[in-house]
Amino acid sequence: MAEDNTRRNWTHTQDLQARDAAHHLHSFTDPQVIETQGSRIITRAQGSTVWDSDGNELLDGMAGLWCVNVGYGREELVDAATRQMHELPYYNNHFQSTTPPIIALAEKLATLTPAGLDRFYFGSSGSEANDTIVRMARQYWRIKGQPEKTIFISRTLAYHGTTVAATSLGGMPHMHAMDGTPGPGYSHIDHPHWYLRGDGLTPEEFGLRAARALEERILELGADKVAAFIGEPIQGAGGVIVPPDSYWPEIQRICRKYDILLVADEVICGFGRTGTWFASEQFAIEPDLMPMAKGLSSGYLPISAVAISSRVYDVVSKGGLFAHGYTYSGHPVACAVALANIGIIEREGLVERVGGDIGPYFQSALASLADHPIVGEKRGLGLMAALQLVRDRDSKTMFAPEDNVAIICRDACYAEGLIARAISGSMVLSPPLVVTHSEVDNMVERLGRALDSTAQKFGVL
Ligand code: PXG
């Protein structure tokens, strides 16, 4: 396939790398790495495969950034965008206006989201959705006559985006270190990772203990000060942390008992990734607010939505002007593409495919690596999973942070033709929902070889 890359004259790697290093500041990248090693340049993609500027073919084990659910190269989405661009490339939803694609998308979403969530606020990113939620939740309590209920409780290693509010909601120390977030109004409890923090408890016992940390925190802060609890059903960027079954029902009970809004961040989990439309269904979460993005448009255009329960809407709608809005809220082209994307997911039965076929296949294929000498745990659900890397399986001895073991393994994956994500000491995969059985086999083989070479580097194999 390398010859196809000659179609465009911008694919001379060194030239591109030099220009990229000269003028582009990358996300979540050390600029010195770009200046000394150059960037990886992805030029085109089809299905679950991407190509780089050297013509290397790579299986995209991360669906871009956990988002290209329907896979690359969908002409239908190109057509939906083109049609909408011709008809109405832009109009806004401010000052009493709307457009047909917004109406159609909101109506469609109402048929898919869990019961009681049937109104939507649109933005362009998951971060914007979470910022919207912080403002909306505080306004909800203000209108209800409890303006001091402002604090958001979230979790360590949570990821909710990178605006100031979303970074504050998140529980990533290296992100907080950059700008002194979180300021007042945010509080974090420990994340529910049984393998690393179980302390000899059963998963069920540990799940209850981890959830009860929320109750303790609410009592410390005072329930009259707490606006909401926010959590990803499965923590994604924190390393695919799947909570024990006992966790979410207890969180739900505590939120109801103390009259705290419950926010389920479905930005990664939503749109089929875990085998249902939303992971809230599998974990029996009944959210008051539910942000979504990524799989909503499969990443073809930027769009996010906050699903709003009638509990919240009925109050917020009586509070006068809703003084919030992004220029691109409900962008008509993004809405048209999201609608077409949902059409593909439905028509091809992709959610059912993840739940009943490729998800279980993927998890059991990865489980074949669970007894590798440097793998301590395989965790995951549907098409998201992680392998915990350990120096010693029996004593659960971790690699030191400065070993950079996951980065070494990730680079080895790349050399094998697989894009995987290195998160702390874990290797993470989250492929497109259309990934085939043989592509899953190839991913697991490539990851297995990368684990072998990583283990050899550390003298474990
Ligand atoms: N919530 C969750 C659960 C996310 O995973 C966001 C909100 C923010 O979405 P936007 O569209 O503003 O990026 C995310 C984003 C990673 C990584 O390191 C994950 C995300 C973004 C960037 C990097 O795996 N998730």
DSSP string covering 401-430: GGG-HHHHHHHHHHHHTEE-EEETTEEEE-
Same domain, 80 and 207: yes
Best of 268, 292, 301, 427 to mutate for ligand 1, by most ligand atoms within 8 A of CB?
A: 268
User: Which candidate, 127, 126, 128, 88, places its Cα nearest to that of 104?
Assistant: 88
CA distances 35 to 21, 174, 235, Å, are 6, 22, 32
Residue where a domain terminates, one of 315, 347, 379:
347
**Torsions phi, psi for 42 (to 5 deg):** -95, 130
Best of 267, 274, 303, 419 to mutate for ligand 1, by most ligand atoms within 8 A of CB?
A: 267
Q: Which residues line ligand 1 (CB under 6 A)?
A: 65, 125-127, 130, 159-161, 232, 236-237, 265, 267-268, 293, 421
Same domain, 357 and 434: yes
Same domain, 250 and 390: no
User: Which candidate, 174, 184, 169, places its Cα nearest to that of 291?
Assistant: 169
Same domain, 311 and 363: no
The answer as to whether 227 is a domain residue is yes
Closest C-alpha residue for ligand 1 atom 7: 160
Q: For position 5, what pLDDT does the model report? A: 46
The answer as to whether 106 is a domain residue is yes
Q: For position 9, what pLDDT does the model report? A: 52
Residue whose tokens read 């996300």: 27
CA distances 362 to 366, 383, 386, 437, 438, Å, are 6, 7, 11, 8, 10
Helix residue ranges per DSSP H, 144-202: 164-169, 173-179, 194-197
The amino acid sitting at 431 is: P
The answer as to whether 18 is a domain residue is no
Residue where a domain terminates, one of 347, 365, 399:
347
CA of 65 to the centre of ligand 1 (A): 8
Beta carbons within 8 Å of 326's beta carbon, 6+ residues apart: 123, 124, 128
Separation between Cα atoms, residue 160 and residue 181, nearest integer Å: 13
Separation between Cα atoms, residue 64 and residue 292, nearest integer Å: 16
End-to-end CA distance of the chain: 35
Strands (DSSP E) along 251-374, which ranges?
261-264, 289-292, 304-309
Nearest atom in ligand 1 to the alpha carbon of residue 428 is: 24
Residue where a domain terminates, one of 299, 314, 347:
347
Q: How many CA atoms lie within 13 A of 35 on its CB side?
A: 6
The answer as to whether 307 is a domain residue is yes
CA of 336 to the centre of ligand 1 (A): 22
Nearest atom in ligand 1 to the alpha carbon of residue 266 is: 3
The answer as to whether 169 is a domain residue is yes
Separation between Cα atoms, residue 140 and residue 145, nearest integer Å: 9
Q: For position 461, what pLDDT does the model report? A: 85
The answer as to whether 35 is a domain residue is no
Same domain, 237 and 386: no
User: Which candidate, 42, 73, 74, places its Cα nearest to that of 56?
Assistant: 42
Same domain, 221 and 301: yes
Same domain, 264 and 403: no
Separation between Cα atoms, residue 48 and residue 439, nearest integer Å: 8
CATH number of the domain enclosing 150: 3.40.640.10
Separation between Cα atoms, residue 229 and residue 206, nearest integer Å: 19
Q: How many CA atoms lie within 13 A of 194 on its CB side?
A: 22
CA of 161 to the centre of ligand 1 (A): 5
Same domain, 156 and 44: no
Same domain, 117 and 184: yes
Length of the chain: 461
Nearest atom in ligand 1 to the alpha carbon of residue 125 is: 11
Same domain, 65 and 110: no
Same domain, 196 and 306: yes
Residue whose tokens read 């300021």: 183
Is pTM beyond 0.95 here? yes
Helix residue ranges per DSSP H, 299-436: 310-316, 332-347, 350-353, 359-367, 405-416
Same domain, 253 and 231: yes
CATH number of the domain enclosing 408: 3.90.1150.10
The answer as to whether 34 is a domain residue is no
Closest C-alpha residue for ligand 1 atom 1: 160
Domains in the chain, number: 2
The answer as to whether 137 is a domain residue is yes
Tell whether the torsion through CA atoms of 357, 362, 367 and 369 is positive or negative.
positive
Separation between Cα atoms, residue 345 and residue 321, nearest integer Å: 36
CA of 143 to the centre of ligand 1 (A): 30
Residue 190 domain boundaries: 75-347
CA of 96 to the centre of ligand 1 (A): 31
The two tokens of residue 110 are 């109402």
Q: pLDDT in tens for each of the 461 residues of the chain?
A: 444 544 555 559 999 999 999 999 999 999 999 999 999 999 999 999 999 999 999 999 999 999 999 999 999 999 999 999 999 999 999 999 999 999 999 999 999 999 999 999 999 999 999 999 999 999 999 999 999 999 999 999 999 999 999 999 999 999 999 999 999 999 999 999 999 999 999 999 999 999 999 999 999 999 999 999 999 999 999 999 999 999 999 999 999 999 999 999 999 999 999 999 999 999 999 999 999 999 999 999 999 999 999 999 999 999 999 999 999 999 999 999 999 999 999 999 999 999 999 999 999 999 999 999 999 999 999 999 999 999 999 999 999 999 999 999 999 999 999 999 999 999 999 999 999 999 999 999 999 999 999 999 999 98
